[in-house]
Amino acid sequence: MEQFLQQIASGLANGAIYACVALALVMIYVSTDHINFAQGEMAMFSTYISWQLMTWGLSFWVAFILAVVFSFVLGVIIERAILRPLHNAPVLSIVVVFIGLLAICNSMAGAIWSYLIKEFPSPFPKSSFGIAGVIGPHQLGVVMVTLIVLGLLFIFFRYTPLGLAMRAAAQNPQMARLVGVRVDWMLALGWGLAAAVGAVAGIMVAHIVYLDPNMMGGILLYAFASALVGGIGNPGGAVVGGFIVGVLENMVAYAGNQIEKATGIYIIGNGEKLTVALIIVITVLTVKPAGLFGRVVVKRV
Amino acid sequence: MAALLEVKGLKAFYGQTQSLYDVGFEIPDGGITTLLGANGAGKTTTLRAICNMVRTDGTIRFDGKDIAGQATEEIVRLRIAHVPEGRGTFTTLTVDENLRIAAYTRRDKAAAHADLERVFGYFPRLKERIQQQAGTLSGGEQQMLAIARALMLRPRLMLLDEPSFGLAPLIVQEIFRILKRINEDDKVSILLVEQNAALALDLATHAYVLETGRVVMSGPSSVVKNDENVRKSYLGY
Amino acid sequence: MPAFPKKLLWVLLALAFLVPLLHPLFPDVVSDYRLFLVSTMIIAAIAVLGLNLLTGFNGQISLGHGAFYAVGAYTAAVLMDHLNMPYWATLPCAAVVCFIVGYLFGLPALRLEGHYLALATFALALAVPQILKYKWLEGVTGGVQGIVLNKPEVPFGLPLSEDQWLYYYCLIVMVVLYWAAANMLNSRSGRAMMAIRDQYMAADTMGIDTALYKTVTFGISAAYTGIAGALSASAIAFVSPDSFTIFLSIKFLIGLVVGGVGSLAGSVVGGIFYVLVDNSAQALSLFVKNDLGLQFDLSAYTVFGILLIVLMYLMPMGIVGGVYLLMRRLRGLRG
C-alpha cells in the first residue's frame, strides 16, 4: 500500500512537470496552430543558464528567477525574429524551423557546457519537507512550485486585461485587431510565457533526471501525450492531462512490477516509459483527437 | 459639415485579383452614410480597406490625417470601430470579456465603466447574459454584442457590415432603432453596408452605390431612393 | 520539380563506376577510407530518397524516418547474426519488413495531417531506441550491446578491397532504387501521389483512392529508408539502439531540405551533404577553437540547425531546386 501511494505521489510530481511543458506547448498551439518541437530543448537550455548562474555563486531562487526571465526574453525574440516572417509559410517549413531550433539548442548546450551529465541541486530542505514514506521533499516541492506557477498563470489569463487580450488574440486574431489589440505582440508574449513555463519545468526536473543536453527528450514526449490527453487546444486540459499522464506512467510501471513479482514474467517496466507515451500519443491522435476535455464550442447562428 | 472620413482613388486587391477600382466617398461628421450594391460589388472590401485588412492603394483620410497603410490595430485606436461581417464574436470568451476586451486600449478606465452601463442601457439582454459564453448567444444577441463591443471603443466612426444579416425582421428593426440612437445621442458617425437597401436608405442621410468595385452613383438618401435604377435594382419596385 | 538532365546523369554514373579503378594511380586520393565515406553518403542518399517519396512527393511529413532505418538495420543484422543469411539477401527482407511496418504506421497516419503527423512521427523517433532495448527483444536484438557483424566479403574472387566492393554494392543498390523511384513517379501512380500532395480534395473527388495511395506510399518510403538501414548495418558491421535517436531523423530532414523537397536528384545531394557536414564537424570544431579562439565544441547539429532555418528563408526549394531556378533565370536573361 505504501509503495502504491509512493507511486502515485511520484506520478503527481512527474505530472506537474509534464503539465508545465504541456501548457507551454498548448499556449503556442492555441495562438498559432504550431506545435513547438523545440519546447523541451529550450527548457533544457534555460536550465543550463540557471546552473551556470548558480556556479557563479547565485542562490538557487535568484538563479531560478533570472533563468525564467531569460527564457521569457528568448521566447519573445525567437517568435519575433524567426517565426513571425514565416507565419504564412507551409506546415513543412514551420516544422523544419522548429527542428532547426531543437538542433541548435541541443548542440549549443553541448558545446558550451559539454555532454557530461551534471548533478543539479534541490532547493527544498531535506528534513522538514515531504511526508515520510509517501513523498520526498523535492517531489513535494516540485508539485508546490508548479502549482504556484500554474495558479499565477491562471490569474494572469483570467483576470488581467493583458491576459484577456492574449486570449482574444489567440481565439480570433482578426477581430482582436479590430478592437485595437496588437496581435503580433500578443503572440510573441505567448511565446515568452511558454518558454518561461518550460524553464520552470526544466529547472524543477533537473534534480530528478540530472542535467544533460538530452534531459528533456522523454519529458517532451510525455508533455505531448499530456497535451493530447487534455485536448491540445485546451490549456486547463493540458494541466490536468499532465497529472493524469504522470500518474498513469507510474501506475503502468507499478503494475508491470507487480505482475513480474507475481508471475515472474516481465511485460513492462521503467524501460518502456517512452513506448507508453508513444502509444498514448498515437491512440489519442487517432481515436480521440479532441482529447478527454477537448472543448467543443457551441456555435449558433 | 466637414468630412470625417475622406476616401479617394481607393483600390484593393486579394492576391492578384483587384476588387476595388478607384472608389471615392466622404462621410460627414455626425452623419450616417450607406454603401449599397449587389453581392460582390465591393462593399465589404471597402470597409476592410479602410481598416487595412486587405492590400490597398489610394488615400484614406480620417479627421484630416492620412491613415492609409497603418496597421489595423493602430487605425482602430484612432477610434474607428469596425463591426465585421459575421459579427466577429470571441466565441470562447464570456459576454463580459467580449465587452471588456474593447476597452483594453482605453486609458480612461472610469469612463469605460460608465460606457459599459450605457451600452447595457441599449442592450439590456446582454446584461442578463453577462457571464455566458458568447458563442452560445443567438444570432441577434451576437449582433448586439458586436455593436456593443464597438461602442466600448468609444468610436467616432463606426463601420457596420450587414448588421441585418440572417436576423428576424423584428430584431433587425430593434437594432436599427438603436443605431439611430447611437448616432444621435452619442454623436457616432456611421458607415453602413447593407443588403437591405430600403432599410439602409431610411436610416442613412447619404448613400453611395457600388458596382463591380466602382462608385456609380451618390447623393442624399432621399435623392438616391427615388432614382429609377436604384429603385429597380435594389428596392425592387 | 525539374527532371535531372539525362545525359549528365549517365556521365555521372559512369564516373562513379570508374572512380575505384583510379586507386592504383592516385592511392591517396582514392583511398579505401574515402570510398567508405562515399558509401555512407550513398546510403544516406537512399534514406533521404525514401523520406522524399513520402514528404516531398506525397506531402506527408515524417520526423521519424530514423525508426524505419532502424527497423531495416536490425532486420538485416538479426538475419545475418541469427540465421547466417548472406548480406545481399537481407536487403529484400528489410524492404519487405519495413514496407509492412510503414504501411501499418501509415494507417493511423491517414487520420493525421500536417502538424499532427509530424507530432506522431516525432514521438515514434523519440521512442525507437527504447523499443529496441525492450527486454523480450533482447535475445534477438542484443539489447543495449547491439549486434556486431562482419563486413560484406568480396564475391567471385574479384580483385577488390572490402571497401571498394562495399562502394560498388551500395552504388548498384542506389542506381536500382533511383531508377525504380523515377519510373514510379513518372507513372500514373506517381502522378496520383503528387496530386494527393497538391490538391487533396480534388484528388479524392477525382476517384483516386487517396487512403490506399497514402498508406502504400508510406510503406514504399519506409522500405527505401529501411534498405538504407540494412545497407548501413552491413557497412558499419554494427547496430545498437543508441545510433537511432531522434537526431538520425533530423539528419534525414536536413538531407531532404538541403537537397530539395520533391526532387530525386536533390535527395542524393542532400544525403551527400549531411554526411559531409557530419564528418567535417571535428574539423569545424577545431577551426572554431584554434582559429576563432572560442572555447566551444561546435557540433554538426549547430550547423544543421542554422541551415534548416536559413534555408526555409532563402531556398525553400532546396539547393537543387534553387540552382535550377537560378539556371532558368540566367537562361531567361540570355534569351
pLDDT (average), residues B154-171: 90
pLDDT (average), residues B187-213: 89
- Distance, in Å, from the CA atom of B9 to the CA atom of B41, rounded to the nearest integer, reads 16
CA distance C253 to chain A (A): 8
Q: Do C127 and A277 touch (CB under 8 A)?
A: yes
Of A59-73, A276-290, B170-184, where does the model show the most confidence?
A: A59-73
**What would the pLDDT profile of C312-323 be if each residue is shown by its tens digit?**
887 766 666 677
Size of interface A-B (CB pairs under 8 A): 84
Number of domains in chain B: 1
* B130 falls within a domain: no
Using an 8 Å Cβ cutoff, are C48 and C255 in contact?
yes
* B80 falls within a domain: yes
CA distance B155 to chain A (A): 11
Query: Comparing C-alpha atoms, which of A289, A149, A161 is closest to residue A230?
Result: A289
- Distance, in Å, from the CA atom of A79 to the CA atom of A102, rounded to the nearest integer, reads 14
C-alpha distances out from residue C100 to C22, C55, C210, C256, Å: 41, 18, 18, 23
pLDDT band at C170 (very low <50, low <70, confident <90, very high): very high
CA distance A286 to chain B (A): 25
Q: Do C261 and A275 touch (CB under 8 A)?
A: no
pLDDT score at C317: 64
CB-based contact (8 Å) between A287 and chain B?
no
* B201 falls within a domain: yes
Q: Check which CATH number belongs to the domain holding B13 and give it.
A: 3.40.50.300
Q: Is the pLDDT of residue A298 over 60?
A: no
C242 CB contacts (<8 Å, ≥6 apart)? C129, C144
Q: Do A106 and C122 touch (CB under 8 A)?
A: no
Size of interface A-C (CB pairs under 8 A): 138
Q: Do A165 and B53 touch (CB under 8 A)?
A: no
Closest chain B CA to residue A169? B90
Q: How far apart are the first and last CA of chain C?
A: 22
Q: In degrees to the nearest 10, what's the CA dihedral of B175, B181, B183, B187? A: -150
CB-based contact (8 Å) between A84 and chain B?
no
pLDDT score at B16: 82
Q: Which domain covers residue B11, as residue numbers?
A: 3-90+155-235
Neighbours of C254 (CB within 10 A): 30
CA distance A129 to chain C (A): 34
Q: Do B88 and A171 touch (CB under 8 A)?
A: no
Q: Which domain covers residue A202, as residue numbers?
A: 2-216
CB-based contact (8 Å) between A164 and chain C?
no
pLDDT (average), residues A78-89: 87
What residues pair up with C116 in beta bridges, in sequence order?
none
Q: Which of C107, C117, C246, C248 to mutate to test the interface with A (most CBs of A within 10 A)?
A: C246
Closest chain A CA to residue B92? A297
Q: Taking CA C48 as the corner, what is the angle to CA C45 and CA C52, rounded to the nearest 5 degrees?
A: 130
Q: How far apart are the first and last CA of chain B?
A: 33
Q: Do C308 and A97 touch (CB under 8 A)?
A: yes
Do B and C touch, 3+ Cβ pairs within 8 Å? The answer is no
Q: Which chains touch B (3 or more CB pairs under 8 A)?
A: A
Instruction: Please provide the average confidence, as pLDDT, over all residues in chain A.
Output: 88
Least confident window among A42-51, A56-65, A203-212, C323-332: C323-332
What cell numbers appear for B97 in the block? 470579456
Q: What percent of chain A has pLDDT over 90?
A: 55
Q: How far apart are the first and last CA of chain A?
A: 54
pLDDT (average), residues B16-42: 87
* A282 falls within a domain: no
Query: Comparing C-alpha atoms, which of C232, C251, C252 is closest to residue C240?
Result: C232
* B39 falls within a domain: yes
Q: Which of A85, A111, A278 sits opposite C302 (nearest CB)?
A: A111
Interface confidence (ipTM) of the complex: 0.90
Q: Which residues of A touch C246 (CB under 8 A)?
A: 217
Of residues A295 and C192, more confidence is placed in: C192
**What would the pLDDT profile of A187-246 be if each residue is shown by its tens digit?**
999 999 999 999 999 999 999 999 999 999 889 999 999 999 988 888 888 999 999 999
- pTM confidence score: 0.87
CB-based contact (8 Å) between B53 and chain A?
yes
Using an 8 Å Cβ cutoff, are C169 and C160 in contact?
no
Share of chain A residues as helix, strand and coil, in percent rounded to the nearest 5? 75, 0, 25
Q: Which residues of A touch B76 (CB under 8 A)?
A: 177-180
What cell numbers appear for A62 in the block? 535568484
Instruction: Please provide the average confidence, as pLDDT, over all residues in chain B.
Output: 88
What radius of gyration do chain C's Cα atoms show?
20
**What would the pLDDT profile of C48-59 be if each residue is shown by its tens digit?**
999 999 998 888
pLDDT score at A127: 67
Q: Which residues of C touch A105 (CB under 8 A)?
A: 305
CB-based contact (8 Å) between A180 and chain C?
no
Q: Which residue has the cell 508539485?
A: A143
CB-based contact (8 Å) between B153 and chain A?
yes
CB-based contact (8 Å) between A34 and chain B?
no
- A 24-43 near C (Cβ less than 8 A): 33-35, 37
Q: Do A180 and B93 touch (CB under 8 A)?
A: no
* CA C320 to chain CA centroid, nearest Å: 16
Q: Which residue has the cell 460582390?
A: B40
pLDDT score at A211: 94
Q: Which residues of C touch A269 (CB under 8 A)?
A: 135
Q: Is the pLDDT of residue C4 over 60?
A: no
* B213 falls within a domain: yes
- Looking at this protein, which amino acid is placed at residue A49? I
What radius of gyration do chain B's Cα atoms show?
17
Q: Which of A77, A92, A94 to mutate to test the interface with C (most CBs of C within 10 A)?
A: A92
Q: Taking CA B106 as the corner, what is the angle to CA B105 and CA B108, rounded to the nearest 5 degrees?
A: 160
Print burial letters for A95-123: b (CB count within 10 Å at least 16), e (below 16): bbbbbbbbbbbbbbbbbbbeeeeeebebb
* C241 falls within a domain: yes
pLDDT band at A299 (very low <50, low <70, confident <90, very high): very low
Q: Is the pLDDT of residue A300 over 70?
A: no
* B97 falls within a domain: no
- Distance, in Å, from the CA atom of A146 to the CA atom of A16, rounded to the nearest integer, reads 6
* A240 falls within a domain: no
pLDDT (average), residues A19-31: 92
What cell numbers appear for C301 in the block? 547539429
Q: Which chains touch C (3 or more CB pairs under 8 A)?
A: A
* Exposure of A132 in the CB half-sphere (CA atoms within 13 A): 2
* B84 falls within a domain: yes
Query: Comparing C-alpha atoms, which of C220, C223, C271 is closest to residue C42?
Result: C271
Do C and A touch, 3+ Cβ pairs within 8 Å? The answer is yes
Least confident window among A46-50, A56-60, C190-194, C268-272: C190-194
Number of domains in chain A: 1
Q: Show the DSSP H helices in A133-234 as ranges.
A: 137-159, 161-171, 173-178, 183-209, 217-230
Q: Do B104 and A297 touch (CB under 8 A)?
A: no
* A86 falls within a domain: yes
Q: Which domain covers residue C37, as residue numbers?
A: 32-245
**What would the pLDDT profile of C72-103 be if each residue is shown by its tens digit?**
999 999 998 888 888 888 999 999 999 999 99
CB-based contact (8 Å) between C55 and chain A?
yes
CB-based contact (8 Å) between C47 and chain A?
no
pLDDT score at A5: 85
